[in-house]
Amino acid sequence: MAQNLYITAMEPGSGKSVVALGMMETLAGKARHAGFFRPIVATGDGRDAQIELIRRRYGLESSYEDMYALSVDEAQTLIASGQHAELEQRVFEAYKRLEARFEVIVCEGTDLVGVLPALDFDLNAGLANQLGCPVLVVLKGTSVSAIASAVRVARASVARKGSSLFGVIVNRVPHDLLGEMRAHSVTYDRNEPLYVLAESPALDRATVAQVAKKLDAAVLVGGDDRLQREVSEVRVAAMRVEHFLDDLVDGTLVIVPGDRADIVIACLAASQFPSLPAIACIILTGGYEPAASISALLSDAPFAVLRVAARTYPTATMVHSVKPTITIEDERKIATAVGVFQAGVDPRELAERVALPRPATQTPAMFQYELLERAKTRRRRIVLTEGEDERVLRAADILLRRGVVDLTILGSPQQIAARAAADGLALHDAQLIDPLTSPLRNDYAALYEELRKHKGMTPELALDTVGEGSYFGTLMVQTGAVDGMVSGAAHTTADTIRPAFEIVRASPGVSVVSSVFFMCMADRVLIYGDCAVNPRPDAEQLADIAISSADTAARFGIEPRVAMLSYSTGESGSGEQVEAVRRATAIARERRPDLLVEGPIQYDAAVDPQVARLKAPDSEVAGRATVFIFPDLDTGNVSYKAVQRSAGAIAVGPILQGLRKPINDLSRGCTVTDIVNTVAITAIQAQETSAG
């Protein structure tokens, strides 16, 4: 039987869905199979947004229909006719059909429109009892005295229904009350703790996409990320241009009649000046088509442009009625919600209280979750060298919202700030440095000249060189201004590695700097090395790569079982390349007798237990290898890309190993998620470096 938890609120607007999302993020990172269930969902043609978000984000192997029992209309009909037992039975049966597939299930209670909050809470407490779920109660933070009273009521209500109280989350606490509320929380019993989550205004903001859907608006401009901008303010443009501009703030949604070309042009002009607030969207009302000349100008607008047939003031009324929700497309809001949750709740303590056993294997979701959690434990400062790249800025936004690391971003501060405002990115906590104008440039040039004077480096060339982001960032790492660097989204691997070799250099005792990819398969995480740095390593270098890769695997929770790959297994083949792998295996075993190393071995024998029984029956590695060492760069690079594209694996890397300080490269085809993961890995490497 699955472990479970029932989340319900005592009043509307408590942010229950944010808590449910945070719980799923936590438990999906701890259990191989975490499920989600809602007893009752809203009636209507559309699907429940929370079910769709969680089903798609966590790749749940459940249909939408399997994840709920009844609609609100069905539930209210049963309640009105006194058929409470029938309602409970239908919920119980739907839950049981789902339960067998999962190790843990998060249940999110319902919100019955038109029902008193107390009755709604009572219904959810009863359903939790029927499902055998402890109850996590969500309250809206107002004052310590009000919360203390509400907790007493919640505890009594849950007990009356025969359920147990897992704990209470006080959500949406204003920042001026946080200290007092958290001091109050420590007075609660550990078996029924009280957690405190801060208010986050960003979670109360609708996106442009949600506004467009509510208005059934035509999207004239912005069928992309511009629709995911958050709307912070709404302005009806019924004034002169100069007053209109004075009234703007970042994230403004402008509602204006479609024939007001002056306002439209003013919005476009404002977008060209970083000192002016960034507009989120323009809604053109009255059904007016912009003139051809205006449409041409709007085609390159950095904000979305919508058109509706309704007049201005009815449109404004509808905009204000939009209820913000979190959707799978809105990664920024997801990051904010998860960050708020994990800032107020200890994920490890939660997993222990839900009584989740530690799984024997690690899924990609668990691996990526652990990366972010480990990076948070001792926050490090990482420098991102490519502030001009949109993916880098979006990744920085997510990392800061989730509190994973502290960041320095290189590039023009004015341009980065303007891009962040235009895209709705929260980068105000990042340090922005322009290498070309930084006061550090002269000091770094002098240091670089000293390091490279044996190569004929001159003061003028050194000053010019350190103006490049990769060199400036590497010198920041070398001098301790930051703890690690990530680069390569817009530059070659050589652009990242060359400064690292020249300035940071290899760790003592390491003969060769190498790289690995974390290959996140459907049911496990494997290590591939070296796929990015060394074209033709000799036997000594191959052994060194194997040892470094095994240590990297162990550092990230993967039990190292090393396969030295070749085109033959054991003694079955011969040839120069096979002999090199055989010598490398012997060297690695001699240097590190504690490691399990097998080679030469073919890939199928390394990964498939049935093939292993035929080709290497006595091997402790064959059939269960976790670290795969390729004989040369051609083989490694082709293999990782083939597996990534053909098997749908997530490839995180290349991660450099063997440097004295952590510097990592990105693929130029990297995604925002790749950047987030690589920064987290770099931060963990920095933790290890400082501990050493």
| Higher-pLDDT residue of 344, 2 | 344
Taking domain 514-658, whether its CATH number is 3.40.50.10750 is answered by: yes
Q: Which helix H or strand E contains 653, and what residues bound it?
A: strand 650-657
The answer to whether 493 touches 592, Cβ cutoff 8 Å, is: no
Q: Which helix H or strand E contains 292, and what residues bound it?
A: helix 292-298
Residue 1 pLDDT: 47
Count CB neighbours of 157 within 10 A: 20
Taking domain 3-200+337-351, whether its CATH number is 3.40.50.300 is answered by: yes
Range ranked top by mean pLDDT from 35-44, 215-224, 364-373, 475-484: 475-484
Residue 361 pLDDT: 59
The answer to whether 403 touches 339, Cβ cutoff 8 Å, is: yes
Nearest to 599 by CA among 639, 572, 566: 566
**360-504 and 514-658 in the same fold:** yes
Mean pLDDT, rounded, for 41-52: 84
| Higher-pLDDT residue of 593, 349 | 593
pLDDT digits (tens, 9 = 90+) for 369-388: 788 888 988 999 999 999 99
Q: What is the SS3 assignment for 305?
A: strand
Amino acid at the residue 645? R
Say which CATH architecture domain 360-504 belongs to.
3-Layer(aba) Sandwich (3.40)
Residues 111, 94: Cα–Cα separation, whole Å: 19
Quick one: tokens of 199? 């208010």
The domain made up of 208-320 has a fold known as 3.40.1390
Residue ranges of the domains in the chain? 3-200+337-351, 208-320, 360-504, 514-658
Amino acid at the residue 534? N
The answer to whether 114 touches 120, Cβ cutoff 8 Å, is: no
Would the pTM count as exceeding 0.85?
Answer: no
pLDDT digits (tens, 9 = 90+) for 210-269: 999 999 999 988 876 788 888 989 999 888 888 888 888 888 999 999 888 888 888 888
Residue 630 pLDDT: 94
Q: How confident is the model at residue 621 (pLDDT cuts 50, 70, 90)?
A: very high
DSSP 500: I
